[in-house]
Amino acid sequence: MEEKDQILDQVTGSEYKYGFYTDIDTETIPKGLNEDVIRLISAKKEEPEFMLEFRLKSYRHWLTMKMPGWAHLRIPEINYQDIIFYAAPRQVVGPKSLSEVDPELLRTFSRLGIPLEEQKMLSGVAVDAVMDSVSVKTTFRETLAELGIIFCSMSEAVREYPELVKKYLGSVVPYTDNYFASLNSAVFSDGSFCYIPKGVRCPMELSTYFRINAANTGQFERTLLIADDDSYVSYLEGCTAPMRDENQLHAAVVEIVALENAQVKYSTVQNWYPGDKNGKGGIYNFVTKRGICKGDNSKISWTQVETGSAITWKYPSCILRGNNTTGEFYSVAVTNNYQQADTGTKMMHIGKNSKSTIISKGISAGHGQNSFRSLVKVMKNADRVRNFTQCDSMLMGDKCGAHTFPYIEVENQSAILEHEATTSRIGEDQIFYCNQRGIDTETAVGLIINGYAREVLNKLPMEFAVEAQKLLQISLEGSVG
């Protein structure tokens, strides 16, 4: 046992590898939140009137709400008057090429391993890089534009495609939805907007890298993705953040609309600063992600690998409104040190013959607390619904926790729902078996963890899967159960 404890201490000793702070001249507005701040944000972003109205009514609604307390999380009180709600890297307006972009910013991206350069063209990935609140550089717009695909920052979409934004923004996650969604609707800074026209199969993985940078700045990303009839898109989202002491609030909203026969695959690798090994600092990640399979035969698939943040509160969900629609949720969530995660999904079956699959792999180490929460709801008129849910938990050490809260509400007798759950440990015998084949303990843990999470990792696009595998190994470096 002592041996185990020692090795476990090494886990807790492994610190965040991407912690650094970039010194960029940042334009911020004063701390705090009131209607004037919202007007200022809207004005700075040169938004049309409808956007300001949306923000204001969201804000007024938010004021009537209370922070939800149902999650299995210990959340310190957040002082919203102590947060800066808008920060933009100050730079020349509208960089025409990379040479016009702040070199410090480019260095940050390259340290993060984000190839914003022309190599992206070769690897076929278009990047909309969001650093703090304003999109810095968007590649591949022309290639995508030829197909009629719109992939731009949210601010730009608000200005240039107001009719699409007006039609769909808040249509999946209403401004009244929940505390953090309302807050986001009031103050969202930027994010990505994507529209795939009818019949178009997006030829490349669309990817966004978010990065939180300026000190004390809450980050409120807003993403809207619309896949029109018969279209297909695969979207990647990946995050790293610099190390710092103050807790940072992050409350993003992602909305997906899939119309008839459309397919959307949304993949996330989330590695924000989780706090140090004593639980100091770290990002609070309160995200609302939801997609609607609006048209018949449409499909939305969420895949997430969550290794970062001090607190994660996140339930990528699907509203299966059309008939024969499919919702999928594949998740790996790691909590180490003092990290807490309450994550899972909701599958709302409204359409007939709708199907959903939920596969969740939780890994808890150190003092980490990992909760899986799901709701499968079958409405009265949803005939012949199928659901398969599997939630597995892995524990490393004896100070961490794994919790599962699967809810099922069925109002239609023809539904078939399956639920499987397991809890396991990395066995000392597994480690020894690997050791005996010449594999050291660290590599063995990586191997076993990646094997455990394989069903989910397999769902990630190739380039992401490799990154995710490394990330899992790094997050649990030196750990044995």
Q: Closest CB to other proteins among 136 and 363? A: 363
Token output for 168? 């769909």
Name the nearest CA neighbour of 4 among 361, 366, 393.
366
Q: How far is the CB of 7 from other proteins (least distance, A)?
A: 11
Give residue 41's identity as a one-letter amino acid code. Answer: I
- Interface with other proteins (CB under 8 A), residue from 13, 30, 48, 451: 451
- Interface with other proteins (CB under 8 A), residue from 224, 452, 472, 475: 452
Q: How far apart are the first and last CA of the chain?
A: 10
453 interacts with other proteins by CB under 8 A: yes
Q: Which stretch binds other proteins (CB under 8 A): 52-60, 213-221, 341-349, 425-433?
A: 425-433
455 interacts with other proteins by CB under 8 A: yes
Q: Closest CB to other proteins among 16 and 452? A: 452
CB 445 within 8 A of CB 473: yes
Q: Closest CB to other proteins among 1 and 92? A: 1
Q: How far is the CB of 455 from other proteins (least distance, A)?
A: 7
Q: Reduce the DSSP state of residue 180 to 3 states and report it.
A: helix
Would you call 239 exposed, middle or buried from its count of C-beta atoms within 10 A (0-12, 13-18, 19+)? buried
Q: Reduce the DSSP state of residue 22 to 3 states and report it.
A: coil
Cβ neighbours for 328, distance < 8 A, ≥ 6 positions apart: 299, 300, 301, 302, 303, 318, 356, 357, 358, 459
69 interacts with other proteins by CB under 8 A: no
Q: Closest CB to other proteins among 380 and 437? A: 437
Q: Closest CB to other proteins among 103 and 438? A: 438
- Interface with other proteins (CB under 8 A), residue from 454, 463, 473, 477: 454
**Strand partners for 363:** 334, 394
Q: Closest CB to other proteins among 274 and 481? A: 481
Instruction: Fill in the per-residue mask, 375 to 414: x = in contact with other proteins (CB under 8 A), - = not in contact.
Output: ----------------------------------------
Q: How far is the CB of 333 from other proteins (least distance, A)?
A: 16
CA distance 434 to 372: 30
Instruction: Fill in the per-residue mask, 431 to 450: x = in contact with other proteins (CB under 8 A), - = not in contact.
Output: -xxxxxxxxxx-x---xx-x
Q: At which residue do the structure tokens 């619309």 appear?
A: 226
Would you call 429 exposed, middle or buried from its count of C-beta atoms within 10 A (0-12, 13-18, 19+)? exposed
425 interacts with other proteins by CB under 8 A: no
Alpha helices in 98-177 (DSSP H): 103-111, 119-123, 141-146, 154-160, 162-168
Q: How far is the CB of 397 from other proteins (least distance, A)?
A: 17
462 interacts with other proteins by CB under 8 A: no
429 interacts with other proteins by CB under 8 A: yes
5 interacts with other proteins by CB under 8 A: no
CA distance 339 to 309: 7
Q: Closest CB to other proteins among 101 and 448? A: 448
Q: Closest CB to other proteins among 278 and 443? A: 443
Q: Closest CB to other proteins among 35 and 440? A: 440
Q: How far is the CB of 433 from other proteins (least distance, A)?
A: 4
3-state helix, strand, coil in the chain (%, to 5): 25, 35, 40
Q: Which stretch binds other proteins (CB under 8 A): 46-54, 191-199, 371-379, 421-429?
A: 421-429
Name the nearest CA neighbour of 385 among 301, 344, 327, 456.
327
Instruction: Fill in the per-residue mask, 21 to 40: x = in contact with other proteins (CB under 8 A), - = not in contact.
Output: --------------------
CB 164 within 8 A of CB 226: yes
Half-sphere exposure of 93 (CA within 13 A, CB side): 2
CA distance 444 to 252: 36
Q: At which residue do the structure tokens 């895949």 appear?
A: 303
Q: Closest CB to other proteins among 50 and 433? A: 433
- Interface with other proteins (CB under 8 A), residue from 430, 445, 464, 481: 430
Q: Closest CB to other proteins among 278 and 435? A: 435
125 interacts with other proteins by CB under 8 A: no
Residue 120 CA from chain centroid, whole number: 22
CA distance 96 to 169: 29
Token output for 424? 């396991």
CA distance 169 to 392: 35
Query: What is the total count of residues that contact other proteins (CB under 8 A)?
Result: 24
Q: Which stretch binds other proteins (CB under 8 A): 106-114, 156-164, 338-346, 453-461?
A: 453-461
**DSSP code per residue over 189-222:** -B-EEEEE-TT-B-SSEEEEEEE--STTB-B-BE
Q: Which stretch binds other proteins (CB under 8 A): 51-59, 215-223, 264-272, 452-460?
A: 452-460
Which chain residues interact with other proteins by CB under 8 A? Answer: 3, 427-430, 432-441, 443, 447-448, 450-455
